[in-house]
Structure 1
Amino acid sequence: MNSSKLFAITKTVAPIMLGSAIYAFGLLYFIIPNQLMEGGVTGITILLNYALHIPIFLTTLLINLPLFLMGWKVLGGRQIVYTGVGIGSLTVFLWLFEKMIDLGWINPFSTEHDFILASLYAGVTLGLGLGIVFRFGGTTGGVDIVARIIGRKFGWSMGQVILTSDVVIIGASLLYISREKILYTLVAVFISSRVIDFIQEGAYAAKAFTIISDEAPKIADLISEELERGVTLIPAIGAYSKQAKYMVYCVVSRQEIRRLSQLVKSVDPRAFVIINDVHDVQGEGFRET
């Protein structure tokens, strides 16, 4: 294996391992000490820990291993390899952090009253970890594998399978934890989902301008000169006037929104301007691929 290929693999595997470490830390530092819950296979491992005091790293490995082998047979491909990296990393870091807690090197965040703080930080930590894993093409196994298999066999969406499993597992946890803790768990799950979306879509947010004007070529030239941004002229025909014209399409950073609006108005005060949110912008002047 040449050095460039090894570097490319490392650029993917290392973030998956990092994300798994953050996720494992969130579980053991915020979720378990405060008797909160999670969905999916992680929720099952937490329930077994609450009910039978079985170490989470052990049940994570025992449940995910057959699912991984099933996924390897049915799905195959690079995705399942990165899933294996995620499962292995999660198991190792759960074991490592449990040992560090037992030795007193880490003191988990446990509270008797301020559970909203615990659920907020749990959601951020778990979402950050999973978001990094997902962004680099990995998973932590469990329901993700089942969802992919069911989706391929029966046409169900991953969202439907994951939501159904979460409802069943979190509902079953009512046998061991209070309804109040379930509500705090839902707060953590919601925050986690939003952080995952944020990581997946990209931390960099920009705005896309679509400008319809009879002075479109002049506006495009001005944007290129003043903002030094790439501009695209798109041929269009007015539905009412039946006249051919151009639309201007341009993506700018948040800091340039006001400046671009002023440039458009200086050329054509009556220009029709549409502004859309854009996430994860790649290319010259933005995030390089």
Structure 2
Amino acid sequence: MLCIAGSAILSFGLYNIHALSGVTEGGILGMTLLLNHWLHLSPAVSGFLMNAACYILGWRMLGRSFVYYSIVAGGGFSLFYAVFEQFPPIWPQLADMPLTAALVGAVFVGVGCGLCVRAGGAPGGDDALAMVVSKAVGCDIRWAYLASDLIVLALSLSYLDFKRIALSLLTVLLSGQIIGLLQKNGLARITRRREMSREGRE
């Protein structure tokens, strides 16, 4: 249920807010745009390959349940996005308010992805990569998100103006913090339940 709710919130935010703001993304989405600009490589191809690689890494390091939850999250995202596309954007005026769109969009992305990650799945390759890096390095998932986003945004300066990059950085910083907070609270509850269960058995 967390994955389904998260994918619905994420797709709603991307369609009704991010798609109107003209703000780019970090991670895999930003990299597909970069490769398309400089190498004329279709995002459909590059995105599929990079997402597949991240999911394979996630499966190897995070286990079989990760794949199941990711299928629910990714499938739910595609389904909900297709539904939202049947209707006009709710706030078309956000196209003229990029700063507001960046802030509000970050909340939808952060909460949507955060719920999916908290459940143990990843709606996109970016999320899978952040979960893998977080586990492999032992760092907070917020820093894993930030590192990948900063690298892509820095490279994107080669073809985008500083204002759009600054707004994108604001978006990824805020959404990454929200995702990290949701995941951290979820892990804390799981840990407490395991400790209570262990004490009960003893």
TM-score w.r.t. length of structure 2: 0.69
Q: Are 1:61 and 1:91, in contact at CA under 8 Å, matched by a contact in 2?
A: no
Task: Give the Cα separation in 1 of the matches to 2:48 and 2:75.
Answer: 8
Note the C-alpha offset of 1:115. 1.8
Equivalence for 1:136: 119
Return the match for 2:167 from 184, 195, 203. 184
Task: Give the Cα separation in 2 of the matches to 1:77 and 1:112.
Answer: 41
Q: Are 2:102 and 2:168, in contact at CA under 8 Å, matched by a contact in 1?
A: yes
Q: Secondary structure at the match of 1:169?
A: helix
Identity of aligned residues (%): 28
Q: Cα deviations across residues 72-102 of structure 1 (Å, max 9, x unaligned)?
A: 24542323321232223233334444x42xx
Task: Give the Cα separation in 2 of the matches to 1:165 and 1:82.
Answer: 23
Return the match for 1:92 from 75, 79, 95. 79
Q: Cα deviations across residues 18-68 of structure 1 (Å, max 9, x unaligned)?
A: 211211222222223221122222333455688869677x86555323432
Q: Are 2:150 and 2:169, in contact at CA under 8 Å, matched by a contact in 1?
A: no
Over aligned residue pairs, what C-alpha RMSD do you find?
3.7
Equivalence for 1:193: 176
Equivalence for 1:145: 128
Task: Give the Cα separation in 2 of the matches to 1:175 and 1:85.
Answer: 36
Task: Give the Cα separation in 1 of the matches to 2:77 and 2:47.
Answer: 8
Q: Secondary structure at the match of 2:176?
A: helix
The 5 A counterparts of 1:1-289 are: 14-45=1-32, 47=34, 61-97=48-84, 99-100=85-86, 105-107=87-89, 109=92, 111=94, 113-149=96-132, 155=137, 157=139, 158=141, 161-197=144-180, 199-200=182-183
Q: For 2:58, give the aligned amino acid.
A: G
Q: Secondary structure at the match of 1:177?
A: coil
Task: Give the Cα separation in 1 of the matches to 2:16 and 2:35.
Answer: 18
Task: Give the Cα separation in 2 of the matches to 1:45 and 1:94.
Answer: 19
Task: Give the Cα separation in 1 of the matches to 2:2 and 2:74.
Answer: 13
TM-score w.r.t. length of structure 1: 0.51
Q: Are 1:83 and 1:140, in contact at CA under 8 Å, matched by a contact in 2?
A: yes
Q: Are 2:23 and 2:168, in contact at CA under 8 Å, matched by a contact in 1?
A: yes
Q: Are 1:33 and 1:109, in contact at CA under 8 Å, matched by a contact in 2?
A: yes
Give the structure with the larger helix fraction: 2
Question: Higher Cα Rg: structure 1 or 2?
Answer: 1
Task: Give the Cα separation in 1 of the matches to 2:128 and 2:115.
Answer: 18
Q: Are 2:146 and 2:173, in contact at CA under 8 Å, matched by a contact in 1?
A: no
Q: Secondary structure at the match of 1:38?
A: coil
Task: Give the Cα separation in 2 of the matches to 1:90 and 1:175.
Answer: 31
Gaps of 5+ in 1: 1-13, 203-278, 284-289
